[in-house]
Structure 1
Amino acid sequence: MKYPTITAGAWAASAPVLLFKNGGPSLGAYFNITSRTFLKSGCNETAIRAAFQAIDNYSTNSSGIAILNQIFKVNTSSPLITKEDVENFLKPYIREAFESLAELDYPYPANFLAPLPKWPVREACKYLTKDSGSDFDRATHLFNAISVYYGNKTACVRSDKCPDAGFWADLAWSWQECTEIIIEKCALGPPNDFFWSYCNESTVLSMIKENCQKNFNNTGYNTTMLREDGVEKLYGFDFRGASNIIFTNGDLDVWSSGGVTENSPGIKNANSRGIYNYYIHGSAHHLDLRQPTKCDPTSVVHARYQIVQILLCWAYPTRPECSTPFQQQDLPEFEEVNATDCTTIINGYPWGIESKESKTNSANLSAHGVFYLTIVIAFLSFFY
Structure 2
Amino acid sequence: MKFSPFFLLVIAIVLSQSLFIIDAFKIPNRLNSISKSRDFKVKYFHQKVDHFSYSNNDTFEQRYLISTEHWQPDGPIWFYAGNEGDIFTFANNTGFMWDNAQDFHAMIIFMEHRYYGTSMPYGKKSLQNLSFSGYLTVEQALADYADFIADIKRTIVGAKKSPVIVIGGSYGGMLASWFRIKYPHLCVGALAASAPVLQFPGIYNCNGYSHIVTEDFKNYSPKCSQSIRQSWNAIRRIAKTDDGLKFLSNQFELCEQLTTQQLQSFIDWITDIWQTLPMIDYPNPSDFLAKLPAYPIKMVCQYLTEPDADDRQLIMNIAKGVSVYTNYSGNTECNQISENNDRLGISAWSFQACTEMVLPLCTNGVNDMFEPEPWIFNDFSDDCRERYAVGSERYKALIMFGGKHIGHTATNIIFSNGLRDPWSAGGILETLSDTLIAIKIPGACHHEDLRSQGPNDPKVLLKAREQELEIIRGWLQTYYNDNQIEFKF
8 Å CA contact 2:292, 2:325 repeated in 1: yes
Paired residue for 1:334? Answer: none
Provide structure 1 residue ranges, at least 5 long, that are not aligned to the other structure: 323-363, 369-384
Secondary structure in 2 aligned to 1:248?
strand
| Aligned pairs, number | 299
Secondary structure in 1 aligned to 2:415?
strand
Q: Which amino acid aligns with 2:398?
A: E
Secondary structure in 2 aligned to 1:315?
helix
C-alpha displacement of 1:319: 8.2
Paired residue for 1:85? Answer: 262
Match of 2:406 among 239, 243, 246: 239
Matches within 5 A, 1:276-295: 276-295=437-456
Matches within 5 A, 1:207-286: 207=380, 209-210=382-383, 212=384, 217=387, 221-224=388-391, 226-237=392-403, 238-240=405-407, 241-262=409-430, 267-268=431-432, 270-271=433-434, 274-286=435-447
Q: Which amino acid aligns with 2:454?
A: T
Match of 2:470 among 309, 321, 324: 309
Paired residue for 1:46? Answer: 226
Inter-partner Cα distance in structure 2 for 1:123 and 1:167 = 24
Q: Which amino acid aligns with 2:226?
A: T
Q: Which protein, 1 or 2, shows the higher relative CO under an 8 Å CA cutoff with sep ≥ 6?
A: 1
Q: Which amino acid aligns with 2:440?
A: Y
Matches within 5 A, 1:1-384: 1-22=181-202, 24-44=203-223, 45-76=225-256, 79-82=257-260, 84-87=261-264, 89-131=265-307, 133-151=309-327, 153-157=333-337, 159=338, 163-166=339-342, 169-190=345-366, 192-200=367-375, 203=376, 205-207=378-380, 209-210=382-383, 212=384, 217=387, 221-224=388-391, 226-237=392-403, 238-240=405-407, 241-262=409-430, 267-268=431-432, 270-271=433-434, 274-317=435-478, 368=489
Q: Which amino acid aligns with 2:335?
A: A
8 Å CA contact 1:105, 1:120 repeated in 2: yes
Q: Which amino acid aligns with 1:254?
A: P
In the TM superposition, structure 1's runs of 4+ consecutive aligned residues that sit over 4 Å from their partners are none
Provide structure 2 residue ranges, at least 5 long, that are not aligned to the other structure: 1-180
C-alpha displacement of 1:165: 4.9
C-alpha displacement of 1:182: 0.9
| Greater strand content | 2
Q: Residue by residue, what CA displacement relative to the aligned partner does 1:89-115 show, whole Å, maximum 9, x if unpaired?
A: 111110111111100010000001110
C-alpha displacement of 1:52: 2.2
Q: Which amino acid aligns with 2:371?
A: W
TM-score w.r.t. structure 1 length? 0.72
Query: In the superposition, relative to structure 1, how do residues 167 and 118 fare at CA in structure 2: closer, same or farther (>3 Å)?
Result: closer
Paired residue for 2:99? Answer: none
Inter-partner Cα distance in structure 1 for 2:464 and 2:472 = 12
Secondary structure in 2 aligned to 1:255?
helix
Query: In the superposition, relative to structure 1, how do residues 213 and 65 fare at CA in structure 2: closer, same or farther (>3 Å)?
Result: farther
Secondary structure in 2 aligned to 1:55?
helix
8 Å CA contact 2:188, 2:479 repeated in 1: no
Inter-partner Cα distance in structure 2 for 1:148 and 1:139 = 15
Inter-partner Cα distance in structure 2 for 1:165 and 1:149 = 13
Inter-partner Cα distance in structure 2 for 1:67 and 1:319 = 66
8 Å CA contact 1:185, 1:204 repeated in 2: no
8 Å CA contact 2:199, 2:359 repeated in 1: yes
8 Å CA contact 2:417, 2:429 repeated in 1: no
Q: Residue by residue, what CA displacement relative to the aligned partner does 1:198-248 show, whole Å, maximum 9, x if unpaired?
A: 224xx35414642x457xx4xxx3133x21222112212112121100011
Inter-partner Cα distance in structure 2 for 1:168 and 1:27 = 23
Inter-partner Cα distance in structure 2 for 1:108 and 1:148 = 15
Secondary structure in 2 aligned to 1:178?
helix
Paired residue for 1:379? Answer: none
Query: In the superposition, relative to structure 1, how do residues 318 and 103 fare at CA in structure 2: closer, same or farther (>3 Å)?
Result: closer
C-alpha displacement of 1:173: 2.2
TM-score w.r.t. structure 2 length? 0.57
Paired residue for 1:360? Answer: none
Deviates more, 1:301-310 or 1:59-68: 59-68
Query: In the superposition, relative to structure 1, how do residues 208 and 52 fare at CA in structure 2: closer, same or farther (>3 Å)?
Result: farther
